[in-house]
Each structure stands twice: as structure tokens, then as C-alpha cells.
Amino acid sequence: MTGGELIAAPTPVSGVRLSRSRLWDERARPQAPPPEAGRHYTAREQAGGRRLIEVHDHLRTELGRLRELMSEVITAAIGPAAARARLHALALRPVEKPLAGYCRTFCRIVLLHHNREDTDVFPRLREFEPRLGPVVDRLEQEHEALHGLVERIDRTLVAEPLDVSALRGAVDLLTDALLSHLSYEEHELVEPLARLWG
């Protein structure tokens, strides 16, 4: 491949909402400057945006697994032993409280991903494309809001007895917010990342 249009396609949000709550106003999100008309991207540049989407797709898959396990444990469709076996199949260490352990593992992965973006990727983008400043600012604000929600989930998980309604509400809100955030990030950064990593 010698070059062509950018083929990495940002993931759209389905529009289905699980929670009535919102962490932010999506209509207030700034947008990246439009790409240069007629620009062609090398194979190496094409890989930059695809990498971001691949990492996000992994997070989306793990979020789906978290939701499935949460549902099965909460509805008592499976017991603790079966949940532990499922976790082992997901390559996670079995834990005494399967849902809590998987939630914590997933949330830790999200936090590590955001930390890498905040400390490595975003500063490079700011320097490379100063016009992206408002978008990067917004993404960092959304990271902070998501981290606050992760802490809320963690507090819910360690409370005895487990408040199933609060946990379900927090995980539903995390699902809506994280999927929205990942899609927004892809829409605004796939093209600049292609140029940055090219």
C-alpha cells in the first residue's frame, strides 16, 4: 500500500442508553480541525489510527464481559464457583468475590489506558497540533469524570452488603459514558494520530 484515504473508521455510538444519568454534556464537546483536503496517508500513517481503535475495541469487549458477569451474579443465574470458572476462562485470577475482582481488574485497565494517554499521547498531540488543545482538554476532563465513576464503583463493591441497585446503576452509567468517550476520542484523534505517528 503506497498511500490513500484514511481507512481507520471511528466506532459510532449505538444511541442506546442504559442510564438516565449523564457524566457530561456531549453537545458541548469541541471538534478537531478538519483534515487537509485530498490528503493521502501512508501505510505507516494508516496504522496510527487503527492502533487506537484496536485498544478501544479491547476495552469494549472487556466491558461487555463485565456486564455479562455482573448480570449473571446479580440475578443468581450462576453461583460463585461458576463465576470463578468463567473468570479463569477470561485469563483472570480467580477471586473470592468474582464480580468485585473482575470490576476492579477492568477498571484498572481503563485507568492505565487513560493514564498513558494523559502522560504520553496527549502532550505529544498538543505539541504536534496545537489546534487540538480544546479537544485534548475535553478528553482529559472526561478521563477525570470516568475515574470518579470508577472510584464510585469500587466503593459500592467493598460495601457490605452489596447494594445491587447502586452497582447496576454505576455500571450502566460507566457503560454509557465509556462507550461515548471512546467514540468521541476516535472521531477526533484518529486523523491527527495518523499524522503524528507517520
Check which CATH number belongs to the domain holding 98 and give it: 1.20.120
**Model pLDDT, residue 15:** 85
Cell match 457503560: residue?
175
Is 113 within 8 Å of 131 (Cβ atoms)? Answer: no
In a domain, 18, yes or no: no
**Model pLDDT, residue 136:** 94
In a domain, 141, yes or no: yes
Instruction: Report d(CA 187, CA 191) in Å as an integer.
Output: 8
Q: For the residues 133-160, what does the mean pLDDT come to?
A: 86
Question: What angle is formed at CA 121 by the lines to CA 118 and CA 127, rounded to 5 degrees?
Answer: 105
Q: For the residues 123-142, what does the mean pLDDT come to?
A: 93
Say if residue 106's pLDDT is above 70: no
In a domain, 162, yes or no: yes
Instruction: Report d(CA 180, CA 176) in Å as an integer.
Output: 6
Say if residue 111's pLDDT is above 80: no
How many structural domains compose the chain?
1
Q: For the residues 153-160, what does the mean pLDDT come to?
A: 76
159 burial via Cβ count (<10 Å: 0-12, 13-18, 19+): exposed
In a domain, 163, yes or no: yes
**Torsion angle defined by CA atoms of residues 140, 146, 147 and 150, in that order, rounded to the nearest 10 degrees:** -170
**Model pLDDT, residue 198:** 63
Number of neighbours of residue 169 by Cβ within 10 angstroms: 18
**Model pLDDT, residue 9:** 87
Domain span at residue 184? 42-197
DSSP for 104-148, written as a single string: HHHHHHHHHHHHHIIIIIHHHHHHH-GGGHHHHHHHHHHHHHHHH
In a domain, 4, yes or no: no
pLDDT digits (tens, 9 = 90+) for 57-104: 988 998 888 888 777 766 766 554 565 455 445 444 434 455 555 566
In a domain, 25, yes or no: no
In a domain, 115, yes or no: yes
